[in-house]
Structure 1
Amino acid sequence: MIANDRSGTAWISDVFRRRAPAYTGLGGLLLGRALAGLVGEFQRVGLAVTVGNPAQRLYRRLGFEITETTMTFAIC
C-alpha cells in the first residue's frame, strides 16, 4: 500500500491483494492499519476507485464517501 500527501490530504495510491479465497479480508486489514497509522497526521484521506469495483463496499464500510466522479479517455 502506498499513501501520498496531496495538498494536506493523504491519498491511498494503491492497495493490492491476491484474489485467492485464502486472502479474503486482507485488503480491509491492510487499509485499516494504514488509516490507523495516519491518525493525528492527516484530517482527511482520499482514494480513487473504478466504478463497479467490489472494493467500494469495503471503502464505504470504512467511512469513505463519493465526493467526485471523473471520466478519462485513452488515446491510442
Structure 2
Amino acid sequence: MATLLFTPRTTIDANIFQYRLDNSPFHAEWNIETGSYEFEEEEQSIDQLEEELALSITYDINGYFELQN
C-alpha cells in the first residue's frame, strides 16, 4: 500500500476540498500534524487516483499532491 497526500494551501481550500470529498465516492483521512488528506491506495493505482481526484475534486483548489511510501 502507498499513501497519496493532498495538502491544501489555505483553510478555504481545505474547506472546499472537504465539502467535495464528503459528496464523492472517495475516502481520505485528515492528518492534523501534516495538514494533509491521506488516501490509502495500491501503489500501481496511485497515478489513476491522482488523476481522478484532479478531475473531480481538486480542479480549482490550490494545493499539491505527493506520494508517501
Q: TM-score, normalised by structure 1?
A: 0.35
Higher helix share: 2
Q: TM-score, normalised by structure 2?
A: 0.37
Q: Which has the higher contact order (CA 8 A, sep 6+)?
A: 2
Higher strand share: 2
